[in-house]
Amino acid sequence: MDTNKKCIPYYGCFLCIIIFYIAMGMACNAAFSGERDKVFWDTKYGTEAYIFGKEPVAFLREHIDILPKGKALDVAMGEGRNAVFLAKNGFEVDGCDISEIAIKKALELAKEMRVDIHAFAADLETYRLPENTYDVISCFYYLQRDLFARMKDALKPGGMIIYETYTTENLERGFDGPKNKDYLLQPNELLHAFKDLKIIYYREIVVDNKKAIASLIARK
């Protein structure tokens, strides 16, 4: 009797079980990581004060006039200072963050500034940005590399990305900011990541001997 033929279905089932448990393990790790991040940021934002202030980042304020009016998404919006600034300048704004406490503070800031924003909690490790939806996508001081492609897909034709965050030079110079290199841009990394869009503006600089950053504006 040829026993090898009878073993094949069992082997296939065994392989399926292994794949299933690997997938379940990856899903559990992602869920644990998301919950850990949520606790961290809820704790950080759990103060009465706005820890990063209420004013927008300078790069957004300086270039607001070249951004196409319409619907905007502020990724990892934190306490909402940039989302609120976009709304004050005539944009219909969505803003997301993993921290529900940050979302609550963003909505309170919007009310204080007498503008409306749609703010919602989302884990960007799993949340899927809606495609072909936004005229502007902003991201400041947050780095998740697998978001780059999703941000491009979420832009309408002619839409713009405005992005700024820390580079590895920030760590090398001992400035405040992330200590994990995974959360820091390599030289020209941001430029390379969006090279398939039309680059409107790009720089890598040290600001006031306090932080080293890369800044980009690009059009789809």
Q: Residue 57: is its pLDDT beyond 50? A: yes
In a domain, 178, yes or no: yes
Q: In this structure, what token pair is assigned to residue 32?
A: 């644990």
What is the distance between the alpha carbons of residues 72 and 200, in angstroms, rounded to a whole number? 18
Confidence of residue 38 (pLDDT cuts 50, 70, 90): confident
- Region at 76 (left for phi over 0; alpha for psi -120 to 50; beta for the rest): left
3-state helix, strand and coil shares in percent for the chain, rounded to the nearest 5: 45, 25, 30
Q: Is the pLDDT reported for residue 16 higher than 80?
A: no
Q: Provide the domain count of the chain.
A: 1
Q: Looking at the domain assignment, is residue 27 inside a domain?
A: no
Of 83, 160, 138, 159, nearest to 116 (Cα)? 83
Which residues constitute the domain of residue 124?
A: 58-219
pLDDT of residue 48: 87
Residue 45 belongs to some domain of the structure:
no
In a domain? residue 136: yes
d(CA 102, CA 108) in angstroms, rounded, equals 10
Count of beta carbons in the 10 Å neighbourhood of residue 10: 9
Does 29 have pLDDT greater than 90?
Answer: no
| pLDDT at position 15 | 47
Average pLDDT value for residue range 27-40:
62
Q: For position 192, which CATH number holds?
A: 3.40.50.150
Mean of the pLDDT values across residues 175-193?
Answer: 97
pLDDT surpasses 70 at 81:
yes
Over the chain, what is the mean pLDDT? 89
pLDDT at 17 > cutoff 70: no
**Distance from chain centroid for Cα 62:** 21
Residue 134 lies in a domain: yes
Q: Which pLDDT belongs to residue 135?
A: 98
Residue 34 pLDDT grade (very low, low, confident, very high; cuts 50, 70, 90): low
Strand 211-219's sheet: what is its strand order?
118-121, 92-97, 71-75, 134-140, 155-166, 211-219, 198-207
% of the chain with per-residue pLDDT over 90? 78
- pTM of this structure: 0.83
Specify the range with the lowest mean pLDDT, choosing from 6-15, 49-58, 181-190. Answer: 6-15
Is 84 contained in some domain? yes
Residue 79 included in any domain: yes
| Whether pLDDT at 176 is above 60 | yes
Q: Which residue, among 65, 97, 56, has the nearest Cα to 78 in the 3D structure?
A: 97
- Read off the pLDDT band of 37 (50, 70, 90): confident
Query: Mean pLDDT, to the nearest integer, of 139-156?
Result: 98
Q: Distance between CA 52 and CA 38 in Å, rounded?
A: 18
Query: pLDDT tens-digit profile of 159-171?
Result: 999 999 999 999 9
The mean per-residue pLDDT over the stretch 99-107 comes to: 97
pLDDT of 19 reads 43
Q: Please check the confidence at residue 11 and state whether its pLDDT lies above 90.
A: no
d(CA 40, CA 32) in angstroms, rounded, equals 12
Q: Does residue 48 lie within any of the structural domains?
A: no
